[in-house]
Amino acid sequence: MIAQVVGFDKDLVLPSILVAFSVLAGYVAIQSIYYLYFHPLASLPGPFFARITDLYGGYHAWTGRHHYRLYELHKKYGPVIRYGPNRVSFNSATAVKDIYGATKPLRKSAGYRALLLSGNVFSLFTSIDKSFHGKRRRIMSHGFSDAALRSYEPIVQERIDKFLEILTKEAGADGWGASKNMSRLCAGLTFDVMGALVFGQPFKILEDESGLSYVIDAIISASRSVGVMVHLPIFGKNNILFKIRGLFRLLFLTLKDLKNIKAFLALSAKLTRERTAQEAAKTAGEDIVKAQGVPNKDILGWILAATDPETGEHLSLSDVWGEARVLIIAGSDTTSTSLSGALYYLSRNPVILNKLRTELRTTFSSEDEIWPGQKINSCSYLKHVIEEALRMSSPVGGILWREAAVDHVVQGVNIPAGTDCGVPVYSIHHHTDYFHDPHVFNPDRWDENIVGAEAVAAAKSAWIPFQIGSRGCIGRPLANMELTLTLARIIYSFEIRVDESKRSVGQADVIPGHTEFETKDQLTAETTGPFLQFKKIEA
């Protein structure tokens, strides 16, 4: 009866399904044959499934291990592999320059469109158009100038003060503080710093982890979901799928994740409106916060005051909100990963730890002297420790994809227009052509007096934690300040030991035979541990 009403014969349902399935199977087979034998990239080596579908890369991104998988694939197939029907991974310093150099004819992959929220407002990080990116970077650069960085120093130091207080909280009779999960604690520090620098007020996660700690959880879960989509470029290139990308994200989020993300977006929108209103309420020359002789005390203050170099217009509220969200994520999660990694390796290498402490205690007479300036810049071993931590525990371990706008040659390989290519950071940071014993934490590899100028030059050519070129990280000087001040003050003032009951937390044989600080790489890195204890060194 129902079949008669709706107008179809139930006896035809099964045959129709079989026909549809056959057509789909035929299409997939024909497309796979094309990708394998007739596509312009058909001659490049790579895993079978990676050569015919982006789902291969999407799956490994979902596991959080795609950076380790890329390392294994390059070991197996060589310096050039096909990591998708239209994606190529290169593992050489030559490719770094050919792909990420400022004058190269490549733009950010269309896959990054999947990062956009409702309203499709592009930010400095998500922008694909090179002209838009150049204009936006000129505006954003005001918030990262030397004058701006100097104005941020007291804010950063105040949050580090609070961070150091926590290290020996609940200390026992022997002076050793309670065991701390340094990934979580370092995240609390960096999110607090960025809250203060972006919105003019810290999130105060260090004071009350049960309060706004959902901010950390929201960033982790959001990065996990959109990180998969970046490896499925069809969501950026197909307009229909682009419009329903939000539904796809739900596959990777729990109800708690959604609640945290919604709360973070609401909080960041509220703080952006408040900060923008404060700026708008000012009149020329009035009620401007002075900080070491400059007119703005936070990043939004600088950005709100800046204008488009061509139109003279200020950023809209939606633009400011978009940049604020990205600044919180990029400036927090990434720095905490490298700081946690540095503490992991220092706590397990007492010779390196003591050498660093000796340098700091020889340079400074007290912890109060540890500020940005000539003295801390003279601490070459501190610099090398941070460089090595960024190599071993880079904030981004996978590939930042770039799309060729025209046919382009990378490392001698022709890349057709529309093809994505890139260099996997973890792979090149562990390449024996550039780093001797690459799985060993060795700050001396950055010292010309020990390994020679040629070895250091080779290492630097393959060291890309902040990327290079016009897309290089705009916040690099700020990240360096945070890492340098925090690490210097910790090592100067505290003894460190591993909580032996939790020694294995955070470490893994990420590559068979090589134990390292484990990072899960989606859009940014997710880490756990190390669990450490601290004891104040008596003056």
Query: Given this model, what pLDDT does residue 292 score?
Result: 37
DSSP 8-state code for residue 468: -
CA within 13 Å, CB half, 522: 18
Characterize the bridge pairing of strands 402-404 and 180-181: unpaired
Query: Given this model, what pLDDT does residue 10 score?
Result: 59
Contact partners, residue 507, CB within 8 Å, separation at least 6: 344, 515, 516, 517, 518, 529, 530
Give the tokens for residue 431. 């390449």
User: In sequence order, what are the beta bridge partners of 494?
Assistant: 536
Domain annotation for the chain: domains and CATH numbers = 39-536 (1.10.630.10)
Taking the model in full, what pTM does it have?
0.90
- pLDDT tens-digit series, residues 172-230: 889 999 999 999 999 999 999 999 999 888 888 998 876 778 888 888 888 888 888 88
Give the tokens for residue 148. 């701006």
Query: Given this model, what pLDDT does residue 117 score?
Result: 66
Query: Given this model, what pLDDT does residue 470 score?
Result: 82
Query: Given this model, what pLDDT does residue 289 score?
Result: 40
Annotated ligand binding at 473? The verdict is yes
Distance, in Å, from the CA atom of 503 to the CA atom of 343, rounded to the nearest integer, reads 13
In terms of phi and psi (left: phi > 0; alpha: psi -120 to 50; beta: otherwise), the region of 492 is alpha
User: In sequence order, what are the beta bridge partners of 534?
Assistant: 496
Q: Mean pLDDT in runs of 10 for the chain (539 residues)?
A: 50 65 70 91 97 94 94 98 97 97 90 72 83 87 91 95 93 92 95 92 84 82 84 76 73 85 87 81 46 58 81 82 86 91 98 98 97 97 98 94 95 96 98 98 98 98 92 92 98 98 93 92 89 93
Query: Given this model, what pLDDT does residue 24 score?
Result: 67
Spell out the SS3 assignment of 238-303: CHHHHHCHHHHHHHHCCHHHHHHHHHHHHHHHHHHHHHHHHHHCCCCCCCCCCECCECCCCHHHHH
Give the tokens for residue 375. 């003295």
